[in-house]
C-alpha cells in the first residue's frame, strides 16, 4: 500500500509536497519520563522545515486528573487557529521516535472531524537518516479557521469499555508490552494495578513496526491482529497505558480497512486505578 494522505505518507511523499501552500507539518513528539527526552527542546534544535510543535500534554483536557485526555472542542479549535492549521489543509504529523506519539494526534484530528491528516512513516529519525532538510527557526504562522465536527464514535470512556468487556460484543486490543499486559512488569505510573482489561487481546504496538520504525503493510498487520485472537468482524476498541500508543493500533486498523474502531482515551491510567472494575492477569 502506497502513500495515503488520510493515514500514512512516506518521507519521499513529504519531501515532494513540503512546499505545497496548503500543507501543514506538525511535530507531535512526546515521551514517557523513563525515555529521558525533552520533546520541545529537540523540536527547537531541529525540525522539518515549517513544522509547528503540537504539545500533547498542553492541548488536552486540563480539567481531568488523567494524562492528556482529548481537549474540549473549543480549546482544540483555538490552538489550531493559533498554529495556523485549519480548513483546506493537508496535515502531516511526525514524532522523534519513528511512530510513537504522532498517531495520537492523527486520532485527535479524526475525532475532531478532520480527515486530510496523515502520519509520517518512520518519522523524524527516518527523515534525518536520509539527510533531508531540517531547520531550527519557528515557522511563520497565519491564523486559519477550522470547522470541527466531533466524531464521538471514535472515543470510548470507562463505562463503555466496562460494558464491552462484560458483554463481549466488542474486542478490546491492548497496545502495551506483553509483560505489562500479563501483569508481570510494573506500570510506569504509580498507584496503578498490574494486568489488563478482562477479555482484552494483546497486540504490542511495536509488533506493527519494522526495524526502521515504519509501519508494516496492512496485510502483515492484519495477520498480527488475527494471530493475537482479535476478531476483526467485531467492533474494535484500542487501549494502552494512557491513550497514546493505542492510536498506533487505530492507525493500523484504519489502513487495514477496519472501519469500526474506537480508542479508549483513559486507557490503563484510568482502568488501572478505578477501584470498581476488574483486572485480569496472565494471558487470560
Q: Which residues contact 208 (CB under 8 A, 6 or more apart)?
A: 215, 216, 221, 224, 248, 249, 252
Neighbour tally for 15: CB within 10 Å: 14
CA distance 6 to 26: 15
**Active-site residue set:** 240
CA distance 196 to 211: 27
CA distance 248 to 203: 10
Neighbour tally for 17: CB within 10 Å: 16
Residue 47 in grid coordinates:
525540525
SS3 content of the chain, % helix, strand, coil (to 5): 30, 15, 55
Strands (DSSP E) along 46-166, which ranges?
Answer: 52-53, 90-94, 117-120, 155-156
Q: What's 272's DSSP letter?
A: T
Amino acid at each position: 500500500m502506497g502513500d495515503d494522505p488520510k493515514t500514512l505518507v512516506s518521507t519521499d511523499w513529504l519531501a515532494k509536497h513540503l512546499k505545497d501552500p496548503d500543507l501543514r507539518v506538525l511535530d507531535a513528539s512526546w515521551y514517557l519520563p523513563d525515555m529521558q527526552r525533552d520533546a520541545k527542546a529537540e523540536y527547537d534544535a531541529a525540525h522539518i522545515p515549517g513544522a509547528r510543535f503540537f504539545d500533547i500534554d498542553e492541548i488536552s483536557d486540563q480539567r481531568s486528573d488523567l494524562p492528556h485526555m482529548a481537549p474540549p472542542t473549543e480549546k482544540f479549535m483555538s490552538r489550531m487557529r493559533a498554529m495556523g492549521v485549519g480548513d483546506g489543509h493537508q496535515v502531516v504529523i511526525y514524532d522523534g521516535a519513528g511512530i510513537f506519539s504522532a498517531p495520537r494526534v492523527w486520532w485527535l484530528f479524526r475525532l475532531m472531524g478532520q480527515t486530510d491528516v496523515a502520519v509520517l512513516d518512520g518519522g523524524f529519525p527516518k527523515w534525518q537518516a536520509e539527510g533531508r532538510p531540517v531547520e531550527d527557526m519557528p515557522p511563520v504562522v497565519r491564523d486559519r479557521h477550522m470547522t470541527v465536527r466531533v466524531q464521538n464514535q471514535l472515543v470510548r470512556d470507562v463505562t463503555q469499555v466496562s460494558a464491552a468487556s462484560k458483554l463481549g460484543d466488542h474486542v478490546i486490543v491492548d497496545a502495551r508490552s506483553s509483560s505489562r499486559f500479563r501483569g508481570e512488569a510494573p506500570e510506569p505510573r504509580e498507584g496503578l494495578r498490574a494486568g489488563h482489561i478482562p477479555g482484552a487481546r494483546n497486540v504490542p504496538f511495536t509488533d506493527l513496526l519494522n526495524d526502521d520504525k515504519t509501519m508494516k503493510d496492512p496485510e502483515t498487520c492484519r495477520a498480527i491482529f488475527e494471530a493475537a485472537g482479535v476478531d476483526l468482524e467485531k467492533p474494535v476498541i484500542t487501549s494502552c497505558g494512557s491513550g497514546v500508543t493505542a492510536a498506533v493500533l487505530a492507525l493500523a486498523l484504519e489502513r487495514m480497512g477496519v472501519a469500526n474502531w474506537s480508542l479508549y482515551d483513559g486507557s490503563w491510567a484510568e482502568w488501572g486505578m478505578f477501584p470498581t472494575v476488574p483486572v485480569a492477569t496472565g494471558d487470560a
